[in-house]
Structure 1
Amino acid sequence: MDLERTIKNTIIQKAKPIGFDEFMNLALYYPAKGYYTGGSQKFGEQGDFITAPETSDLFGFCLARQSAQILANEDDILEFGAGSGILAAQILFELGRLDKLPRTYYILELSAELKQRQKDTINKTLPELIDKVVWLNNLPEHFSGVIIANEVLDAMPAKRVINKGGEFFELGVDCQDDTLVWQTLGVYQNDKMQLPTEVTQGYTTEVNERAMAWVNSLNDFMDKGVVLLIDYGMARDEYFHPQRGDGTLQCYYQHKANDNPFEHIGEQDITTSVNFSDIADQASASGFVIEGYATQAMFLISLGIDEYLLAEKDEKKNALLAQQVKLLVLPSAMGESFKVLAFSKNTQVKLDGFKEQDLTCKL
């Protein structure tokens, strides 16, 4: 039975619509059939989208530099959702070069297929460090060091809400005439989530309660260290801009974007942009200290991405690196749309990644 049929049967058996977050969870994470749990290629040229680590090793090298500043003796790194494993390989390689390797590099990965791909990547590129890497199925009980989540929050199932008559109602998914359709549910009520007040009839946006719960869960097991979140998104004012009336929902299928989550179910990525103000508020409420917020471009520049360029004397390799750096830092590429948010617990450190820019006041 295909995943679309499974979802339709779920709705029929419940005899009522499901929330969009439940639909998104089924579409992305249903065992063996969901987008992230199935066996298809997701990342890189052969997949549906290209992430920053796939764009250039320099992305991971810069994150390694930031991690090296934080890591103390006996500290670890924990990466959530490590994709193809290439970011872990980049970070470990550069930390080895800097003589700042963590005690253990943990990867928390729910997909068995991706876990195997990560093992293959690290085995192929850094066989001498594969014993440093430990895969987890659950959150650790205690952790000190650096937590990294690159493009993790955007894949967390979000709720969709629509403004009608000055109130926000939750949007769900129903099955009518064997077709999946949007269905308005009851009034959306959550005192912790801020929603815009002055918007037009039909204004639609997303709220991500699961991302907030995830941030809170980090505080439960983290003893000390820094959390680095890298994702595409924006602060609240921009997130809820009146012109963003259709929200931030995006689907990606074979490098083409669309806004219909009911197509290619299980075969296309479904994402929503990150409301970094919500995440920062939750982090503060959970007991973390906000250490910085910047565009990806300025974060990488602060960490000396240009120094790697200058160090490459081979003209052809230098030209290739220059092209990669442009993709990471230019506003028309990833530089402005992706942001970096850092928060800490029981650790006092002025992070190098925010030397050139800190937009915390805009959150």
Structure 2
Amino acid sequence: MEIIAQIRHEIESQEGRAISFARFMELALYHDSHGYYMSDLPKVGKDGDFFTSATVHAVFGETMADAVSELWRAVGLKQPVLVEIGGGTGSLCKSMLGRIRETEPDVYKRLKVVLIEASPYHRRRQEEVLREHEVAKVWYASLDEAAADGAVEGVVLSNEWLDAFPVHIAERTKTGWKEVAVTYAEGRFREVLREPSAPLLAALAEIESAVPIPSGMRIEVNLGLKQAAEQVGRLLANGFVVTIDYGDREEELYHPSRKKGTLMCYHRHQAHDNPYIHVGEQDMTAHVNFSAWSRYGEKAGLQEVAYMRQDKFLLQCGLLHKAVAHQDTDPFASQAMKRNRAILQLIDPAGLGGRFRVMVQQKGRERHPTALPAFLINKKDARE
């Protein structure tokens, strides 16, 4: 495969003939011509490799639309902006806009939508599915590009964005921290341990100041979180940031029970932990460090106001009220039954509801010191 040849070429051009795992992951996912996310392969849904909450059913987007509308009202915006980062196929944005058009037509007419999407394939898909909506829309290929174009007032939303960042892998050995690097030998990719870079060591020290890491444990470190938080802080002048992803606070994320880390791969709806097969043809993700996301956000002017599991968040946003009564008997033909099954799937504590976390941050609160919406009043950690 061409992507393997490209990665091998970079490996062989480096001193020590190895690259960091983060660079390997970046090339496998984001190489301009052959990266997984940059290709035209279906990725989300039954024809792809994985499902997201947004693709389970439009009721997820309808619920998020109601939540975002409340956040706009809390800030008192006359011309609200919705920013979606990493929206994939556009299914979430489509269902949200449909709900806003139905329930708040006056807001819909004034609304501006900003879509930040690195994948040309997904940008084309978004343009197609959102064509029916006549609201003002603008696309950017990167968060940095969007932030450079001027700050906005509104809500910045992401669903499964941060988990797709390339991550460094570090292993705590008896002699200290080592970084996992990737080389190529005997016809396949192999791992080697080497001394960590200065930025990685600094991040590891920050983690260990909060959580002791035992010898023999591997953890993933997302060095891109800090820059992403800074860019979101620049992009948002006033409003809220809603981040939905699987992850945890540091004390849970780096618990000894996760001795091998959290890196997972998804290929044709099969989950596994080997990133060195199906290269360029599979998704790779790692759990989000929400403690770090909150810390970096604070430095960027984003104040954490809520953090909880997805099931609790959706319930507090009124998801159960969207269930419909019916007398249907055919589970395959009944739209009502499909809707109700999707609601249960979204709040299943053993599935999407329990695995995903929602963090809400606010910027500019001093300008609008009104009460937060009711669904944000509980600030306790998700595990409580």
Q: TM-score, normalised by structure 1?
A: 0.93
Does residue 165 in structure 1 map to residue 174 in structure 2?
A: yes
Choose which of 352, 358, 361 in structure 2 pairs with 1:340.
358
Which residue pairs with 2:84 in the alignment? Answer: 79
Secondary structure at 2:339's aligned position in 1? helix
- Structure 2 vs 1, CA of residues 111 and 269 (structure 1 numbering), >3 Å: closer, same or farther? same
Q: Distance in 2 between matches of 1:14 and 1:299?
A: 46
Choose which of 129, 133, 139 in structure 2 pairs with 1:121.
129
User: Would you say the 8 A contact 2:357–2:382 is kept in 1?
Assistant: no
**Deviations 1:103-128 (CA, angstroms, capped at 9, x unpaired):** 211101111111111111223xxx1x
**Deviations 1:9-30 (CA, angstroms, capped at 9, x unpaired):** 1110123311111111111000
**Gapped regions of structure 1 (runs ≥ 5):** none
Secondary structure at 1:318's aligned position in 2? helix
**Deviations 1:223-255 (CA, angstroms, capped at 9, x unpaired):** 111000000111111111111100000000000
Which residue pairs with 1:238 in the alignment? Answer: 252
- Structure 2 vs 1, CA of residues 132 and 202 (structure 1 numbering), >3 Å: closer, same or farther? same
User: Would you say the 8 A contact 1:36–1:111 is kept in 2?
Assistant: yes
- Structure 2 vs 1, CA of residues 223 and 198 (structure 1 numbering), >3 Å: closer, same or farther? closer
**Gapped regions of structure 2 (runs ≥ 5):** 329-333
Displacement, 1:361? Answer: 8.9
Does residue 354 in structure 1 map to residue 376 in structure 2?
A: yes
User: Would you say the 8 A contact 2:36–2:280 is kept in 1?
Assistant: yes
Which residue pairs with 1:65 in the alignment? Answer: 66
Secondary structure at 1:5's aligned position in 2? helix
Which residue pairs with 1:151 in the alignment? Answer: 160
User: Would you say the 8 A contact 2:225–2:296 is kept in 1?
Assistant: no
Q: How many residues align?
A: 357
Displacement, 1:201? Answer: 2.8
Q: Distance in 2 between matches of 1:41 and 1:193?
A: 38
The aligned amino acid for 1:194 is I
Q: Distance in 1 between matches of 2:280 and 2:49?
A: 12
Secondary structure at 2:360's aligned position in 1? strand
- Structure 2 vs 1, CA of residues 139 and 177 (structure 1 numbering), >3 Å: closer, same or farther? same
Displacement, 1:358? Answer: 3.0
Identity of aligned residues (%): 25
Please list, as runs of the form range in 1=range in 2, the aligned pairs for 1:1-363 lying within 5 A after superposition.
2-16=2-16, 17-71=18-72, 72-99=77-104, 100-101=107-108, 103-123=111-131, 127=132, 129-137=133-141, 138-140=145-147, 141-165=150-174, 167-187=176-196, 188-191=200-203, 193-195=206-208, 198-310=212-324, 313=326, 315=328, 316-347=334-365, 348=369, 349-355=371-377, 357-360=378-381
Displacement, 1:130? Answer: 4.0
User: Would you say the 8 A contact 1:294–1:354 is kept in 2?
Assistant: no
Q: Distance in 2 between matches of 1:28 and 1:157?
A: 8
The aligned amino acid for 2:70 is Q
Secondary structure at 2:24's aligned position in 1? helix
Q: Distance in 2 between matches of 1:162 and 1:218?
A: 30
Displacement, 1:131? Answer: 4.4
User: Would you say the 8 A contact 2:308–2:379 is kept in 1?
Assistant: yes
Displacement, 1:344? Answer: 0.6
- Structure 2 vs 1, CA of residues 178 and 193 (structure 1 numbering), >3 Å: closer, same or farther? farther
Deviates more, 1:60-69 or 1:183-192: 183-192
The aligned amino acid for 2:201 is Q
Q: Distance in 1 between matches of 2:102 and 2:78?
A: 17
The aligned amino acid for 2:169 is R
Q: Distance in 1 between matches of 2:226 and 2:153?
A: 21
User: Would you say the 8 A contact 2:113–2:135 is kept in 1?
Assistant: no
Superposition RMSD in Å = 2.0
Secondary structure at 1:37's aligned position in 2? coil
User: Would you say the 8 A contact 1:224–1:345 is kept in 2?
Assistant: yes
User: Would you say the 8 A contact 1:298–1:354 is kept in 2?
Assistant: no
User: Would you say the 8 A contact 2:38–2:119 is kept in 1?
Assistant: yes
- Structure 2 vs 1, CA of residues 133 and 163 (structure 1 numbering), >3 Å: closer, same or farther? same
Q: TM-score, normalised by structure 2?
A: 0.88
Q: Distance in 1 between matches of 2:211 and 2:177?
A: 9
Deviates more, 1:334-343 or 1:176-185: 176-185
User: Would you say the 8 A contact 2:44–2:89 is kept in 1?
Assistant: yes
